[in-house]
Structure 1
Amino acid sequence: MFLPANVQTNIDRIQNRINSSANTLSSKTEDNSEKIKNLIEAVRLALIILSAVMLLLTFLGFVFSLFGMQFLVYILVITGWILVTGTFILCGIFLLLHNVTGDTCVAMNQWVQNPTAHTALDDILPCVDNATAQETLTRSKEVTSQLVNLMNTVINNVSNNNFPPNFGPFYYNQSGPPVPNICNPFNSDLTDRTCAPGEVDLNNATQAWRGYVCQTSGNGICVTRGRLTPAMYGQMTAGVNVSYGLYRYGPFLVNLEDCSFVRQTFSDIHATYCPGLRRYSRWIYIGLVMVATAVMLSLVFWVIYGRERRHRVYTKQRTPGGFAGDKPS
């Protein structure tokens, strides 16, 4: 109500952008997290099923070979070769994943250790220089301080004054205890400032002001005790939200801008997750190679055993005293 029209428009626009960005970031993060979890769960289930099928195939082939069920053995041999081929392909995929993971971890570590060197990640993560980032932080502090000063000016000169009824738009029958000022977190030189007694912090100003809001009539005049109309309270709440957002998240956004946050994240990933990820991916493809090789050797041994069994039966039939020799000529 008492803020300039351009300031109100800018506050509403910034608030909408902040809310939209926060909602988009939260939604995308949740979706990506869910997709990654589903992918990992699907891979885990596929590996378990593949291992179980391989073990079952090996056991059945062993049993069928012992009992001389050559037809079933041949069926298992054909099925086994298909599974072995698929397992080797899957092993190659995990080997590729292992190499990509290793190269990515090395690239992240090089980018963190050499922030001024041109690396492959520079083309993916365009970072601004430190001077530009600090200029952005300074401007965010200035906007925060100016918004707080503007709202305190409205509180001191309008809300906490008792104007006569003929004093135009500044009179709306305000009454009751004075509205506390907002604590400006910065001095005039933008250094950190300590709150004075009686001031309210940016993070709880809207809750503190809620008790000073009056009920108004159709023409905007307070009909109950209070020094803030609902319209004023809404505009000042929007201003507080923008000021608090810039004050609270401005340094974080600057860290995003100059990639300090990304460097710290990459450093944590390289130190915490890269060793385990590379180790476990190596275990997976080595395990797949061992399983595929074992099944492949089992297939070969089944065929050899089947041929040897038929050869023994044939030899026994042709040997004197065997099954064929007992028959009359």
Structure 2
Amino acid sequence: MPRRLTVATMMMSFRGFVLVSGGGVDGFDPARKAYSLGEVVTNGTGIVSDFILAEERTRRKDPANNFKYYTGGWNITNVHYWSSVLYSAFPLLIVAALWFLLFGFTLILMCCCFCCCPRNNNSYSKTVYFLSLVLVILTLIAVCLVCGVLFDGQERLHKGNSETLEFIVDRANYTVGNLRIFASTMVDAKNVNLERQFIISPALRSDIDQLHRKLNYSANELAVKTNDNSHKIEELLYRMRLLLVIVAAVMLALALLGSLSSLIGCQCFVSFLLVVGWFIVTVTLLTSAVFLLLHNVYSDTCTAMEEWVEHPQEHTAIDDILPCVDYQTANQSMYRSKEVVFQVVDGVNNVVSSIANRNFEPGKAPFTGPNYNQSGPLVPLLCNPFFANTTSRKCSFVEIDLANATQKYKEYICTVDEFITPSGSTVERCTSVGRLTPKIYDQIAAAIQVGFGIYHYGPFLTDLQDCSFVRQTMKDITNNNCPGLEKYSMWVYIELVMVSSTMMLSIIFWAIYTREKRQRKFVKDHDFLRRYPLVPPQPIPISAP
């Protein structure tokens, strides 16, 4: 049986859609456990209700619990869930066992009769002969058609599985990319300076270094796990597809060889094919049981994802394998990002208010420090989206938004002339109306770009923290991928049952037709000998000389 089956394996790859701490993805609330039968769980401070996912869909008898109905819902960490799912394929296992035993006993009986009691009789029915001939041809056509449908069904199922996996990998790579860009932007913010002064406080610079290491570790871990899991699942999907292709090809070849051999009367080869067909039909029935199980897991998982998306506040079994919230790293990332944005914007506004917007007597020397002959309309302040305590803040109508600040500030750039001060340093002096030299503007623009970049990733961090990102991913899978996966997995297991059934009938009709053909030949030979008996040659009399 496929390793915990495809959808269950895909679900585990969602574990990377979270910010992880130094301990990896398993650093979530230890009070969360795997739930056996949907009971209520306490966490020491109160009672937490466990919302049961796909409760009606997963209500099946559980042989591991005295055949009582399983009521724990979808939970791939629960042995009772897997026991109940396995039991759903029990009817096909029974059919496979009965076929193996009964037809095997029949083959042994036929062999004993042929070897120990080799006799022919006159029992021959034209009706049975022609009817078995027609049925051999019809079952051959049926097997060919069902094998063609099975090949098409496996192709559709493989395509649906591959598209689902590709979508999950793309979302994981999107997360990795955003984490790395965010970490890199935070480092850039640490090094931003205006007028040779760093605008990020030393304490925050140290925190950024620690956060950068954690974020890089998280991104690298997610990238490695995504790559490993995707390759494992691709290998699993390939093997599953190969199995179905082999089943379809072998069944088709067996049907053609068996039917043709029985039609031309190759009794020994037909006997050999009866044994081969007996074994292959048993294997195909077992395969259909596995794919029935797979179909149930597909449907259970899709229903569970849909209900999980619809109940964001409930604690469910998915929360145990997808710890969406790693409060330590997620909150630290969000808090530090807000601090950085606040300090960057505050630093820009300090430069604007204390340098660019200061007025000096026109043309008065020396043009050093804050005096570089700036003049003209005052430069508006940059809108700071946060207060000092990192709570959200609304912009006033006179402030410039981060998104278009660099364009607005271009209007305040002056034309400059460079000259050397008595100390030997080169400075810029405005020779036209304006309050920002190109050098100061470049520094401000770089700071704004970094601040806006970090602010831009705020919603991304929020989505990771409250699981919105994973919920949206699951919603997309539920809407776009699940209908096809459920339909085509059902097609495949039904087609496997059909090809097994038609091959069963075909094998039986081979045996009947071969026997009738042998008996017909015996009867014809017997009638011929009766009509034209073989007269032994009479000695020719020799006349006396």
Q: Same fold (TM over 0.5)?
A: yes
Equivalent residue in structure 2 for 1:304, among 495, 505, 512: 512
CA distance in 2, matches of 1:121, 1:40: 23
| Residue of structure 2 equivalent to 1:327 | 534
Q: After TM superposition, give the deviation of residue 258 of structure 1 in Å.
A: 1.9
Q: State yes or no: 1:146 paired with 2:343.
A: yes
Equivalent residue in structure 1 for 2:393, among 169, 186, 191: 191
SS, match of residue 123 in structure 1: helix
Q: Which range moved further: 283-292 or 35-44?
A: 35-44
CA distance in 2, matches of 1:16, 1:221: 39
After superposition, the Cα gap between the structure-2 partners of 1:21 and 1:201, relative to the gap in structure 1 and judged at 3 Å, is farther
| Higher alpha-carbon Rg | 2
CA distance in 2, matches of 1:247, 1:95: 49
| Residue of structure 1 equivalent to 2:17 | none
Bigger share in helix: 1
Q: State yes or no: 1:316 paired with 2:527.
A: no
Q: Specify every segment of 5 or more residues in structure 2 that has no aligned partner in the other structure, as ranges.
A: 1-195, 359-365, 371-378, 411-424, 428-436, 537-545
Q: State yes or no: 1:103 paired with 2:305.
A: no
CA distance in 1, matches of 2:254, 2:405: 67
| Residue of structure 2 equivalent to 1:215 | none
Q: After TM superposition, give the deviation of residue 111 of structure 1 in Å.
A: 2.3
Question: Per-residue CA shift, 1:238-283, capped at 9, x if unaligned?
Answer: 9965x44542222222222222333333333323322221111000
Letter aligned with residue 528 of structure 2:
G
SS, match of residue 528 in structure 2: coil
Equivalent residue in structure 1 for 2:261, among 64, 74, 80: 64
Query: Cα RMSD (Å) of the superposition?
Result: 5.0
Q: After TM superposition, give the deviation of residue 94 of structure 1 in Å.
A: 0.9
| Residue of structure 2 equivalent to 1:74 | 271
Q: State yes or no: 1:9 paired with 2:217.
A: no
Q: After TM superposition, give the deviation of residue 126 of structure 1 in Å.
A: 4.2
CA distance in 2, matches of 1:196, 1:77: 89
**Contact in 2 for aligned 1:183/1:202 (Cα 8 Å):** no
Letter aligned with residue 281 of structure 2:
V
**Contact in 2 for aligned 1:15/1:238 (Cα 8 Å):** no
| Residue of structure 1 equivalent to 2:181 | none
After superposition, the Cα gap between the structure-2 partners of 1:138 and 1:195, relative to the gap in structure 1 and judged at 3 Å, is farther
Bigger share in strand: 2
Letter aligned with residue 514 of structure 2:
G
| Residue of structure 2 equivalent to 1:87 | 284
TM-score, normalised on structure 1? Answer: 0.69
CA distance in 2, matches of 1:14, 1:238: 20
Question: Per-residue CA shift, 1:16-71, capped at 9, x if unaligned?
Answer: 44444345445544554455445434433432332122112111111111111122
After superposition, the Cα gap between the structure-2 partners of 1:85 and 1:204, relative to the gap in structure 1 and judged at 3 Å, is farther
Question: Per-residue CA shift, 1:127-177, capped at 9, x if unaligned?
Answer: 569xxx99986774344222432465478779999xx9x99xx9xxxxxxx
**Contact in 2 for aligned 1:98/1:281 (Cα 8 Å):** yes
CA distance in 2, matches of 1:80, 1:322: 37
After superposition, the Cα gap between the structure-2 partners of 1:227 and 1:135, relative to the gap in structure 1 and judged at 3 Å, is closer
Between the two proteins, the alignment pairs up a number of residues equal to 314
CA distance in 1, matches of 2:454, 2:204: 15
| Residue of structure 2 equivalent to 1:289 | 497
| Residue of structure 2 equivalent to 1:174 | none
Letter aligned with residue 321 of structure 1:
F
After superposition, the Cα gap between the structure-2 partners of 1:123 and 1:322, relative to the gap in structure 1 and judged at 3 Å, is same
Letter aligned with residue 186 of structure 1:
P
After superposition, the Cα gap between the structure-2 partners of 1:254 and 1:321, relative to the gap in structure 1 and judged at 3 Å, is same
**Contact in 1 for aligned 2:325/2:464 (Cα 8 Å):** no
Letter aligned with residue 535 of structure 2:
P
Identical-residue share of aligned pairs (%) = 42
**Contact in 1 for aligned 2:383/2:401 (Cα 8 Å):** no
CA distance in 2, matches of 1:94, 1:26: 31
SS, match of residue 197 in structure 2: coil
Letter aligned with residue 98 of structure 1:
H
CA distance in 1, matches of 2:338, 2:482: 38
CA distance in 2, matches of 1:79, 1:203: 75
Q: Which range moved further: 116-125 or 298-307?
A: 116-125
After superposition, the Cα gap between the structure-2 partners of 1:239 and 1:313, relative to the gap in structure 1 and judged at 3 Å, is same
Q: Map 1:223-242 to 2 at 5 A.
A: 227=439, 241=450
| Residue of structure 2 equivalent to 1:112 | 309
Letter aligned with residue 478 of structure 2:
H
Q: After TM superposition, give the deviation of residue 306 of structure 1 in Å.
A: 1.8
**Contact in 2 for aligned 1:145/1:186 (Cα 8 Å):** yes
TM-score, normalised on structure 2? Answer: 0.45
After superposition, the Cα gap between the structure-2 partners of 1:196 and 1:75, relative to the gap in structure 1 and judged at 3 Å, is farther
**Contact in 2 for aligned 1:183/1:195 (Cα 8 Å):** no
After superposition, the Cα gap between the structure-2 partners of 1:52 and 1:147, relative to the gap in structure 1 and judged at 3 Å, is same
Q: Map 1:18-29 to 2 at 5 A.
A: 18-26=215-223, 28-29=225-226
CA distance in 1, matches of 2:218, 2:357: 36
After superposition, the Cα gap between the structure-2 partners of 1:34 and 1:127, relative to the gap in structure 1 and judged at 3 Å, is closer
CA distance in 2, matches of 1:278, 1:83: 26
CA distance in 1, matches of 2:239, 2:522: 50
CA distance in 1, matches of 2:254, 2:456: 61
Q: After TM superposition, give the deviation of residue 77 of structure 1 in Å.
A: 2.2
